[in-house]
Amino acid sequence: MTNQMTITFPDDWHIHLRDHDALKTTVPHAAQSFKRAIVMPNTTPPIKNRQDAEAYYARIQKHIPEGSDFQPLMTLYLTPDTTADIIEDAKASGIVHAVKLYPAGVTTNSTAGVSSLSNLYPVFEKMAEIGLPLLIHGEASDPEIDIFDRESTFIEQELKPLHTKIPTLKIVLEHITTKDAVEFVLAANNNVGATLTPQHLLFNRNSLLSGGIKPHLYCLPILKRETHRQALIEAATSGNPKFFIGTDSAPHAQSAKESSCGCAGCYSALTAISHYAEAFEHMNALDKLEAFLGHYGADFYGLPRNTEMITLVREDWTPPESYSYLENEHLIPLGAKQVLKWKVK
Residues tagged active-site: 248
For residue 196, the one-letter residue type is L
295 known ligand binder: no
CA distance 290 to 334: 21
- Give the count of alpha carbons within 13 A of 172, CB side only: 28
Per the rule left: phi > 0, alpha: psi between -120 and 50, beta: everything else, 18 is left
Who contacts 204 (Cβ-Cβ below 8 Å, separation ≥6)? 223, 224, 225, 226, 228, 229
Residue 29 is assigned to a ligand binding site? no
**Does 17 carry a binding-site annotation?**
yes
Quick one: which of 334, 312, 242, 233 has its CA closest to 280?
Answer: 233
Q: Has 224 been labeled as part of a binding site? A: no
Q: Say whether 146 counts as a known binding-site residue.
A: no
Q: Is 100 annotated as a binding residue?
A: yes
16 annotated binding-site participant: yes
Nearest to 16 by CA among 252, 244, 201: 252
3 state SS of 25? helix
Annotated binding residue 190? no
User: Is 31 a known ligand-binding residue?
Assistant: no
Q: Is 264 annotated as a binding residue?
A: yes
User: Please, what is the angle between helix 23-33 and helix 50-61, to 10°?
Assistant: 80
Binding-site residue set for Zn(2+): 14, 16, 100, 137, 175, 248
Binding-site residue set: 14, 16-18, 42, 100, 137, 175, 220, 248, 252, 264
Binding-site residue set for substrate: 16-18, 42, 137, 220, 252, 264
